Amino acid sequence: MQLAVDVQIPECFGGIAGEAVFIDTEGSFMVDRVVDIAAACVQHCHLIAEAQQEEDLRKALETFSLENILSHIYYFRCRDYTELLAQVYLLPEFLSEHSKVRLVVIDGIAFPFRHDFEDLSLRTRLLNGLAQQLIIIANDHKSAVVLTNQMTTRIGQSQSTLVPALGESWGHAATVRLIFHWDNSQRLATLYKSPSQKESTIAYHITSHGFRDVQPPAVTHSTEGTELNPRKRPRTEEEKQ
Amino acid sequence: MDWDQFDLNPKTIAALKKADIKSVKEVLNLSGADLQRLMKLSSADIQCLLKTVSHTLRRNSMLTALQLYQDKDHFTSQHQKLSLGCSVLDNLLKGGIPLVGITELAGESSAGKTQISLQLCLCVQYPYKYGGLESGAVYICTEDVFPSKRLQQLIDQQHKLRADVPAEIIQKIRFGNSIFVEQAADLDTFQQCITRRLSLLLARGMVRLVVIDSIAALFRCEFGAAQSALKARYLQTFGAQLHSLSTRYRTPIMCINQVWQQTVSYSTGTGSRVTPALGITWSNQLLMRLMVSRVSLPGHSPGAAAHCAGSVRTLSVIFAPHLPPSFCYYTVQLEGVKGIK
Q: Tell me, what's the ipTM?
A: 0.88
Shared-domain flag, residues B44 and B117: no
Report the length, in residues, of chain B: 341
| Residue B259 φ then ψ, to 5° | -120, 155
- C-alpha B39/C-alpha B36 separation (Å) is 5
Count the neighbouring beta carbons within 10 Å of the beta carbon of residue A124: 17
In a domain, A229, yes or no: no
Contact (Cβ atoms closer than 8 angstroms) between residue B120 and residue B84: yes
Residue B144 has pLDDT above 90, yes or no: no
Is the Cβ pair B237, A67 closer than 8 Å? no
Q: Is the omega angle on the peptide bond into residue B136 within 30 degrees of 0, that is, cis? A: no
A73-106 burial, b at 16+ Cβ within 10 Å, e below that, comes to bbbbbbbbbbbbbbbbbbbeebbeeeeebbbbbb
In a domain, A86, yes or no: yes
Q: Residue B7 has what pLDDT?
A: 85
Shared-domain flag, residues A138 and A158: yes
Q: Is B48 on the interface with A (CB under 8 A)?
A: no
Task: Give chain B positions within 8 Å (CB) of A125.
Answer: 31
Compute CA distances B325 → A236, B127, B295, whole Å: 31, 30, 18
Radius of gyration of chain B (CA): 24
Indicate the average pLDDT of chain B: 88
- C-alpha B125/C-alpha B168 separation (Å) is 14
Shared-domain flag, residues A146 and A165: yes
In a domain, B67, yes or no: no
In a domain, A225, yes or no: no
Tell me which amino acid residue B302 is.
P
Contact (Cβ atoms closer than 8 angstroms) between residue A181 and residue A190: yes
- C-alpha B214/C-alpha B141 separation (Å) is 7
Contacts with A225 (C-beta within 8 Å, 6 or more apart), sequence order:
A2, A189, A204, A211
Whole domain around residue B131: which residue ranges?
76-296+306-339
- Mean pLDDT of the region B324-330: 93
**CATH number for B102:** 3.40.50.300
Shared-domain flag, residues B15 and B122: no
Shared-domain flag, residues B47 and B124: no
- C-alpha B40/C-alpha B20 separation (Å) is 13
Closest Cα of chain B to A93: distance in Å? 9
Q: Which of residues 56-75 of B touch A (CB under 8 A)?
A: 57-58, 61-66, 68-69
- C-alpha B208/C-alpha B249 separation (Å) is 8
Query: Given B25, B55, B321, which is nearest A33 (Cβ)?
Result: B321
Shared-domain flag, residues A24 and A68: yes
Question: Which letter does DSSP use for residue B193 in this model?
Answer: I
In a domain, B70, yes or no: no
In a domain, B133, yes or no: yes
For A235, the 3-state DSSP assignment is: coil
In a domain, A67, yes or no: yes
Shared-domain flag, residues A81 and A152: yes
Domain boundary among A143, A173, A203: A173
Shared-domain flag, residues A198 and A110: no
- Mean pLDDT of the region B185-214: 93
Shared-domain flag, residues A65 and A108: yes
In a domain, B69, yes or no: no
**CATH number for B48:** 1.10.150
Q: What is the count of structural domains for chain A? A: 2
Compute CA distances A181 → A114, A189, A220, B104, whole Å: 21, 6, 21, 21
Task: For B3-32, write each residue's pLDDT tens digit.
Answer: 888 888 888 888 888 888 888 888 999 888
Shared-domain flag, residues B167 and B31: no
Shared-domain flag, residues A214 and A169: no
In a domain, B24, yes or no: yes
CA quadruple B218, B261, B275, B265: dihedral sign: negative
Shared-domain flag, residues B163 and B31: no
Reported in sequence order, the residue ranges of B30-159 that DSSP labels E, i.e. its strands, are 62-64, 81-82, 97-98, 102-107, 136-141
Q: Which of residues 235-294 of B touch A (CB under 8 A)?
A: 236-237, 239-240, 243-244, 246-248, 266-268, 279-281, 284, 287
Nearest residue of A to residue B98 by CA position? A30
Q: Residue B307 has what pLDDT?
A: 43
Whole domain around residue A26: which residue ranges?
1-173
Domain boundary among B31, B58, B85: B58
For B53, the 3-state DSSP assignment is: helix
- C-alpha A157/C-alpha A136 separation (Å) is 39
Task: Give chain B positions within 8 Å (CB) of A70.
Answer: 64-66, 68-69
In a domain, A240, yes or no: no
For A236, the 3-state DSSP assignment is: strand
CA-closest candidate to residue B337, choices B119, B56, B190: B119
In a domain, A228, yes or no: no
Residue B327 has pLDDT above 90, yes or no: yes
Q: Which of residues 190-209 of B touch A (CB under 8 A)?
A: none
Shared-domain flag, residues A134 and A205: no
In a domain, B82, yes or no: yes
Lowest mean pLDDT among A184-188, B87-91, B286-290, B320-324: A184-188
Going by pLDDT thresholds of 50, 70 and 90, the confidence category of residue B191 is very high
Shared-domain flag, residues B232 and B265: yes
CA-closest candidate to residue A89, choices B260, B32, B152: B32
> Bridge-partner residues for B259, per DSSP?
B276
In a domain, B63, yes or no: no
Going by pLDDT thresholds of 50, 70 and 90, the confidence category of residue B158 is very high
Q: Is B220 on the interface with A (CB under 8 A)?
A: no
Is the Cβ pair B57, A86 closer than 8 Å? yes
Q: Residue B222 has what pLDDT?
A: 67
Shared-domain flag, residues A169 and A183: no
Shared-domain flag, residues A30 and A119: yes
Q: Is B31 on the interface with A (CB under 8 A)?
A: yes
Shared-domain flag, residues A118 and A138: yes
- Mean pLDDT of the region B217-231: 78
Contact (Cβ atoms closer than 8 angstroms) between residue B329 and residue B312: yes
Task: Give chain A positions within 8 Å (CB) of B324.
Answer: 206-208
- C-alpha B177/C-alpha B174 separation (Å) is 6
In a domain, B165, yes or no: yes
- C-alpha A162/C-alpha A154 separation (Å) is 6
Q: Residue B75 has what pLDDT?
A: 83
- C-alpha A8/C-alpha B15 separation (Å) is 45
> Bridge-partner residues for B15, per DSSP?
none
Q: What is the count of structural domains for chain B? A: 2
Shared-domain flag, residues A11 and A83: yes
- C-alpha B285/C-alpha A161 separation (Å) is 20
Tell me which amino acid residue B297 is.
L
State which of A212-216, B185-189, B294-298 shows the largest mean pLDDT: B185-189
- Mean pLDDT of the region B253-273: 80
**CATH number for A17:** 3.40.50.300
- C-alpha B327/C-alpha B18 separation (Å) is 61
Contact (Cβ atoms closer than 8 angstroms) between residue B155 and residue B175: yes
CA-closest candidate to residue B281, choices B243, B229, B319, B330: B229
Shared-domain flag, residues B107 and B234: yes
Higher pLDDT, B261 or B94: B94
Digits of tens for pLDDT over chain A (241 positions)?
A: 999 999 999 988 888 999 999 999 999 999 999 999 999 999 999 998 888 888 888 888 888 999 999 999 999 999 999 999 999 999 999 999 999 999 999 998 999 998 878 888 899 999 999 999 999 999 999 999 999 999 988 877 777 788 899 888 888 888 899 999 888 888 999 998 888 889 999 899 999 889 888 865 444 443 333 333 434 333 334 443 3
Q: Residue A153 has what pLDDT?
A: 85
Task: Give chain B positions within 8 Å (CB) of A124.
Answer: none
Q: Residue B299 has what pLDDT?
A: 52
